[in-house]
Structure 1
Amino acid sequence: MLKTLLDGAVMMAYLSCALFFLRFHRQSRDRLFAFFSLAFALMGVHNLLTTVVGPDLDAERRYFLFVVRLVAYLLILGAIWDKNRAGRGTR
């Protein structure tokens, strides 16, 4: 019961961060903030899936849920790479 409550609080924090970065994307039109917003939304979805579906899966199949988190981390790395690559041509 307490674990479910804490997982919900962490999911709410991830989605709050996603909305925070989405607001900055709308103000600046910078793709970095859009990618960060999408990544944090994916991490919130991962947390939701882990809470809802995770206990029903056996340990051998639970690793499929972490693909969502891997995609989110790769999205953050890609956003940072894209931001640094875009800045190179302006010098």
Structure 2
Amino acid sequence: MTAQAIDFTSGLTAMGFLTSALFFLRFWTRARDGLFLAFAAAFALLALEQGVGTWFNAIREEQGWVYLLRLAAFLVIIVSVIRKNREAPR
């Protein structure tokens, strides 16, 4: 693939992640459930990771610091699901 095609695909992926973040943020405003807010934050981090990776051309393995954003997004999801499962039923 050419560099323009990779940038275009990364932009589409980032847009999809941001759309998902807004989708979960809308659910959070209605339900006030922290799990929805965590998913919104995680998808925003994934969008940021796509944008930063494209901006700095971090496709090579030696520039793996960008993937720490992806790790943070998954940790947010894992922690929020564990916290949600530990809550007392209402």
TM normalised by structure 1 equals 0.89
Q: Secondary structure of 2:89's partner? A: coil
Displaced runs of 4+ in structure 1, greater than 4 A? none
What does the per-residue CA deviation read over 1:18-56, in whole Å, with 9 as the maximum and x for residues that have no partner? 00000000000000000000000000000001100134x
Q: Which residue of 2 aligns with 1:54?
A: 57
CA distance in 1, matches of 2:18, 2:89: 34
CA distance in 1, matches of 2:71, 2:60: 20
What is the Cα deviation at residue 11 of structure 1?
Answer: 0.3
**Is residue 64 of structure 2 the alignment partner of residue 83 of structure 1?**
no
Q: Which residue of 2 aligns with 1:32?
A: 35
TM normalised by structure 2 equals 0.90
**Is residue 70 of structure 2 the alignment partner of residue 69 of structure 1?**
yes
Q: How many residues align?
A: 87
Structure 1: gaps (5+ residues): none
What is the Cα deviation at residue 63 of structure 1?
Answer: 1.1
Relative to structure 1, is the Cα distance of residues 81 and 51 closer, same or farther in structure 2, using a 3 angstrom cutoff? same
Structure 2: gaps (5+ residues): none
Report the AA paired with residue 34 of structure 2: R
